[in-house]
Amino acid sequence: MPTISAPRAVVDGRMTGPVTIAVHDGVIREVRLDDRAGSAPGGADLVLADGVLTAGLVDVQINGAFGVDFSSADEAGWDRVAAALPATGVTSFQPTYITAPLGALISGLDTAIEARRRQADAFGARILGVHLEGPFLSPVRHGVHEQRFLAEPTAEAIDRLLDAPGREILTMVTLAPELPGALEAVRRLTAAGIRVSVGHTDATAAQITAAADAGATLVTHIFNAQRGLAHREPGVPGATMADRRFYCGLIADLHHVAPEICSLVWRGARGRVVLVTDAIAAAGMPPGAYELSGIPVLLSEDGVPRNADGTIAGSALTLDLAVRNMISLGLPEAQVVEAASRVPADALGRTDLGRIAVGARADLVWWSDDFHPRRAWVDGREAGAPTTAADLPAARESLAVSP
């Protein structure tokens, strides 16, 4: 049975080690914590001399990266993102489409299905499902989303989603729960196994609680594009931090949310913070002009993408940087890593991902001691970062024979 050993690892929410992990058929079969792990060069098939071993990161909100916008990407673009993400520690991701005509969003489901099928035997990050951030958003909190495409979550609109040919890949919908018909939409979507996140919303705390009662379990990019926190009206951030039914998505680029408020969210939603990138095509790219679902966006020298009127348009963040940013605030390393791995996986109901545990997928990341990714494995096979699926080698060495 192939094994990998490391001097330190994040296991069960704490930094521990030495550790030896046994992998078979892409699944972790044994996790052994003892003094022998990594102490002898021949003690495992792969011995990591230093650094930290963790589960692979899970990004549940990413619009694109590396010059690629999912809403308009061709096959090579989709494959380039999946192949390159492991270099940032991400081994699973949920591509996100922002507000557009409902028919275009439904067509996008088929595109994602084709990409997932095409990449099945590749060695990049896996597509978990599609997140629709819109079009059922508040007209007063729409942010960069085009107001002309906003819609109410009518029974007919939800029928179209649930009856769509690509429905199998739809895993999350962000909506504003105060809209007419929204609570019934939450009930229907969650009954169909689709996670509902509240976002781009002017809802009161009472309306957020009603959404949770209907089945909503997440908040999209807390503090951004939503009714704010006040001392008599908790708004969206106050309600979702206080209600333990919610996972709180946080863009930790330290621009969307100030460092002090990142720390506040961490403590207010302890154990429920989901680090996300909300990355657009500008992520991993130099300053310049990019697009987000057809909207021109400029990435300036400060690293923040904005549209023509100055509204922040997604981010240029990568998830490994989000981890380093949160650690730099003095937060516990192991728990920060879990906020980008186990917690987002749990938020999607994927208990087979985001953790070093028996029965979990062997998605692993080896980090330097200062948390820069060095190598990554998906299903126990080392991931590379070629630019297109065509560049992927016919076969890669498995964990069993990694040098």
> Which of the residues are catalytic?
278
Residue 279 is classified by DSSP as: B
Using the structure block, give the residue that is written with the tokens 């929410």.
13
Backbone angles phi, psi at 177, to 5 degrees: -70, -10
**Token couple for 54:** 């963790």
Candidates 361, 357, 353; CA nearest to 24 is: 361
Query: What single-letter amino acid sits at 48?
Result: L
3-class secondary-structure state, position 288: strand
Beta bridge partners, 30, equal 22
Taking the C-alpha atoms of residue 164 and residue 169, their distance in angstroms, rounded to an integer, is: 10
Q: CA–CA distance from 63 to each of 152, 258, 289, 301, 357 (Å)?
A: 22, 22, 16, 21, 30
Q: Which two tokens stand for residue 220?
A: 């999209």
Q: What distances in angstroms separate CA 62 from CA 71, 82, 139, 180, 188, one per listed residue?
A: 11, 11, 22, 28, 25
Contacts 24+ apart (CB under 8 A), 379-385: 379/26, 380/2, 380/23, 380/25, 380/26, 380/27, 381/26, 381/123, 382/123, 383/83, 383/86, 383/91, 383/123, 383/124, 383/125, 384/83, 384/86, 384/123, 384/124, 385/83, 385/84, 385/86, 385/87, 385/124
